[in-house]
Amino acid sequence: MDLDPDLAALRPLGGFFVLRTTGPAGAAPPRPLPTLADAYDLASPGDVTMPGDVTRPGGATRPEDATRPDAYGSPLALRVGVVARRLRASEPRVCASITQQGLAARLWSVALGCAALYGGVPDLDPRLLRWDPDAAAPDDLWLTEVRALPATAAVLAETVLHGHLRPLGEALRARYGTAAGLLWGNAGAALAGAARELDRWARGSGRGDVADRARALTAELFAHPPLSATGIFSGTAFRRRSCCLYYRVPGGGICGDCCFTRPPRPAPPAVSG
């Protein structure tokens, strides 16, 4: 269950799996970065203040606010604004969904990759993970201390599902009104994507043992609520029961695991009178 201080075994798997480390074995971030604990720390909905000192009940955002990274002075709002500008998207809930799915993919990839390669999982406590919300995709994460946990599905669920994705989802729902079922569907899709990429790399590298461990852990995780309700996982294939809303991004479409077979059509305008 030993983890090397650099988590070097993750590097051949690509950007979604790599986790930077700090301290004696690693380099420090180029500038002070917030932790993911900072990103998940919400004010109560009634205390949310919009630009121009306009308080909006429930923390709802207007479309124009999605492109303002300083809307709340928070790392999470900054990231949603970055995503909005890069995708030229104006719907807050869409930008929030894509922000969450990208971060979920990073967290699942690191945790599952370490579990399958090392037989141990780094403690990914949000207070130990620094995050650059202004960076390009995939999300840039720095772990300030490498300490090993057992590589079990229960530990993975506690570490990623409950330690990160639950408070992240609560933050995004409170600020942007993104549906809970959609965000859990994103979490399932991100897990399946990480498992699929890890399986592809492992089999191509002659590491059938890694592929087997990753597949077994992923199957156990999909039996864990709330992932069990997000879709159907079989082998490395996944079909989700929700949509991440990527089709609403300019030039976007539906993903390979989407519940839709074609992008939904806009609702017809209401007829007055």
The residues near 143 (Cβ < 8 Å, ≥ 6 apart) are 7, 19, 20, 21, 22, 122, 124, 128, 129, 130
How far is Cα 247 from Cα 16, in angstroms, rounded to an integer?
23
If you average pLDDT over every residue of the chain, what do you get?
86
Per-residue model confidence as pLDDT tens digits over 78-91: 999 999 999 999 99
Q: How confident is the model at residue 41 (pLDDT cuts 50, 70, 90)?
A: confident
**Amino acid present at 74:** S
Per-residue model confidence as pLDDT tens digits over 57-86: 333 344 344 434 344 468 999 999 999 999
Amino acid 26: pLDDT: 66
Q: Could you report how far apart the first and last alpha carbons of the chain are, in Å?
A: 69
What are the residue ranges of helices labelled H in the chain?
A: 36-40, 75-87, 92-118, 153-156, 166-176, 180-204, 208-222
What is the domain partition of the chain in residue ranges?
A: 8-248
Mean pLDDT throughout 11-29? 84
Q: Are 168 and 39 in contact (CB under 8 A)?
A: yes
Q: How confident is the model at residue 28 (pLDDT cuts 50, 70, 90)?
A: confident
pLDDT at 102 over 90: yes
Amino acid 23: pLDDT: 63
pTM here? 0.85
What is the torsional sign of CA 83, 244, 96, 164? negative
CA 114 to chain centre: 17
Per-residue model confidence as pLDDT tens digits over 153-172: 999 999 999 999 999 999 99
pLDDT at 51 over 70: no
Neighbours of 39 (CB within 10 A): 23
Mean pLDDT throughout 44-51? 30
pLDDT at 225 over 50: yes
pLDDT at 266 over 70: no
Residue whose structure tokens are 């995709």: 137
Q: How confident is the model at residue 201 (pLDDT cuts 50, 70, 90)?
A: very high
Amino acid 55: pLDDT: 27
Of residues 55 and 210, more confidently modeled: 210
pLDDT at 111 over 60: yes
DSSP summary character for residue 64 = G
Mean pLDDT throughout 224-244? 94
Q: Is 119 left (phi over 0), alpha (psi -120 to 50) or beta?
A: left
Q: Is 245 left (phi over 0), alpha (psi -120 to 50) or beta?
A: left
pLDDT at 185 over 80: yes
Q: How confident is the model at residue 42 (pLDDT cuts 50, 70, 90)?
A: very low
